[in-house]
């Protein structure tokens, strides 16, 4: 994650520490120079973290493409499905070629 993305984190985004895969938190507040996530993580160094799940789809109604993107991210990041498996590659292809809703 870069500093720009770090500053744009919002409530509901899910972050994961780069070196410790068990440190996953849901953002509860962003104060510019630090972000607070559940499990009491104070995130102060953006180089140590990646944006795990972006909460961009936390609004209803979602478009069909947004639902497929959410489904793909959930399969990959929550259920640790390999993004190079045949069905994940096909799902990514469908999403990438989706016409605007």
> Which of 77, 81, 39, 40 shows the shortest CA–CA distance to 55?
77
pLDDT (tens digit per residue) in 34-87: 888 876 557 888 888 776 656 665 555 567 888 888 889 888 888 888 999 999
DSSP code per residue over 45-76: -GGGEEEEE-GGG-SSSPPHHHHHHHHHHIII
Pick from 58, 61, 79, 82: which is nearest to 70 by CA? Answer: 58
Domain spans in the chain, listed from the N-terminal domain onward: 3-54, 59-96
Q: What is the pTM of this model?
A: 0.44
* Tens-place pLDDT, residues 86-98: 999 999 999 999 8
Smallest Cα–Cα separation from 35: which of 71, 6, 3, 1? 6
């Amino acid at each position: 994650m870069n500093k720009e993305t770090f500053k744009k984190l919002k409530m509901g985004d899910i972050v994961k520490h780069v070196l410790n895969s068990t440190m996953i938190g849901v953002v509860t507040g962003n104060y510019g120079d630090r972000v607070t996530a559940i499990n009491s993580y104070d995130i102060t160094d953006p180089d140590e973290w990646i944006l795990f799940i972006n909460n961009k789809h936390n609004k209803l109604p979602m478009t069909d493409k947004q639902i497929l993107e959410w489904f793909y991210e959930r399969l990959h990041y929550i259920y640790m499905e390999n993004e190079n498996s045949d069905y994940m590659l096909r799902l990514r292809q469908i999403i990438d070629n989706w016409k605007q809703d």
